Amino acid sequence: MGYLVGIDLGGTKIHTALAAKSGEILEERVLPTLAEEGEVAVLQRIIRSVQEVVLPRGISREEILAIGVGAPGLIDQREGIIRTAANLPFEEFPLAKAIQKVFPVPVKVENDGNAALLGEYHLGERKFTKNLVYITVSTGVGGAAMVDGKLLLGAGGGAFEIGHMPLVPDSNVLCGCGQYGHVESYVSGTGIRKAMERALVSGENSSLSLETPFGTREIHQAALSGDALSKSILEDAFSYLGMTISQVLTLLNPEVVILGGGVSSIGDMFLEKVKSTAEQYTLPLLYNAAEIRLSSFKERTGVVGAVAVALEEVQKRASAK
């Protein structure tokens, strides 16, 4: 009997799971990342999180078939190196080798967007769909695409940086990357909050005010209670995402587009606006070919994705033999 381990390495938490060979999750642990303590401390917590999911079942190191890691930022997938990642203390850090010193098994490190897509591909409700797009809308906007059963990586592993596609010309809205008018600066949770702040500063009427901190959740609540400004700001963001998806449908002709992340958990109001806008801008043949749907994994997207990274590594090694 062999097992898989998935590690969802985030800026605030390390979410680790032990899974059966099929991908079914058996044990989970969440530890704080505490990135400010530096790379050695964070690495130790990563190792501890693996030990804590393995020990309760009395599983030996030899029974672990592979460890998959999903991490934010720029990843060298081949060498298992985190090149750079916002909110993590790792710079050109050989994470796979560091984990292998303690657990001498195959370790695969993948960008978290690609990991989430692999989670949908191997374990989701539309699994084994070979033309699949995953988009996450939370603090930022990210994602991944699979075309004809192959993950789209590009020359340097940076393909499908969807949050940083230009969207609005001559924009004065600054993106987290330092450029202007990108998808993320209009569509993400941060973008939505900043749009509301700009509207309030310019004197527009709302039940929200600059004195009380708010995020997408509060803006959504206000919209549900009849606040017209909140509703229009959300609709603007969702229609921008619909336009972005229209570009994706036009470029890649996917069968499924799966939407995850905190903002998409708004649910029906989000999905309806995104779909109607995408339909408005897309050739009917391409729009009708794709199902646009919400991910069912929600806050477990990251860890399910990391397990799928391990699963895929085991399958690759088996087919290479």
Q: 3-class SS at 236?
A: helix
Task: Name the residue whose CB lies closest to Zn ion.
Answer: 175
Q: How far is the CB of 174 from Zn ion (least distance, A)?
A: 9
Instruction: Count CB neighbours of 57 within 10 A.
Output: 11
CA–CA dist 320, 257 (Å, integer): 30
List binders of Zn ion among 167-206 (CB under 5 A).
Answer: 175, 177, 182
Q: Which is nearer to Zn ion, 31 or 173 (CB)?
A: 173
Q: Shortest distance, CB of residue 9 to Zn ion, whole angstroms?
A: 22
Tokens 């336009």 belong to: 243
What gap in Å lies between CA 138 and CA 266, rounded to an integer? Answer: 11
Cα separation of 52 and 54, whole Å?
Answer: 6
Smallest distance, Zn ion to C-beta of residue 181, A: 9
Q: How far apart are CA 242 and CA 238, in angstroms?
A: 6
DSSP state of 282: S
Q: Which amino acid is at 63?
A: E
Question: Least distance in Å: CB of 301 to Zn ion?
Answer: 22
> What is the rounded distance in angstroms from the CA atom of residue 155 to the CA atom of residue 105?
28
Asked whether position 164 contacts Zn ion by CB under 5 A, the answer is yes
**Least spacing, CB of residue 97 vs Zn ion, in Å:** 31
- SS3 state at 254: coil
Least separation in angstroms between CB 165 and Zn ion: 8
DSSP characters over 62-76: GGEEEEEEEESSEEE
Please provide the distance, in angstroms rounded to a whole number, between the alpha carbons at the two ends of the chain: 19
Nearer to Zn ion by Cβ, of 164 and 193: the residue is: 164
Q: Which stretch binds Zn ion (CB under 5 A): 39-47, 157-165, 225-233, 237-245?
A: 157-165
Please say which residue, 142 or 302, places its beta carbon nearer to Zn ion. Answer: 142
Rank residues 93 and 240 by Cβ distance to Zn ion and give the closer one: 240
Binding piece for Zn ion, criterion CB under 5 A, among 11-19, 99-107, 143-151, 158-166 = 158-166
Q: DSSP letter at 222? A: H
Residue 220 near Zn ion by CB under 5 A: no
- Element containing residue 220 per DSSP (H, E): helix 216-224
- SS3 for 255? coil
For residues 33 and 136, which CB has a smaller minimum distance to Zn ion in the complex? 136
Q: Closest distance between Zn ion and the C-beta of residue 169, in Å?
A: 15
- Strands laid side by side in the 74-76 sheet: 74-76, 81-84, 91-93
Cβ nearer to Zn ion, comparing 137 with 223: 137
CA distances to 168, 169, 209, 270 from 254, rounded to whole Å, are 24, 27, 41, 20
| Nearer CB in complex with Zn ion: 241/292 | 241
Q: Which is nearer to Zn ion, 185 or 277 (CB)?
A: 185
Q: Does 162 bind Zn ion (CB under 5 A)?
A: no
Q: What distance in Å separates the CA atoms of residue 94 and residue 80, rounded to the nearest whole number?
A: 6
Closer residue to Zn ion, CB minimum distance, 162 or 309:
162
**Minimum distance, C-beta of residue 177 to Zn ion, in the bound complex (Å):** 3
Q: Cβ 166 to Zn ion, closest distance in Å?
A: 9
With CB under 5 A, what is the number of residues at the site for Zn ion?
4
Residue 113 tokens read as 């967007």
Interface contacts to Zn ion, rule CB under 5 A = 164, 175, 177, 182
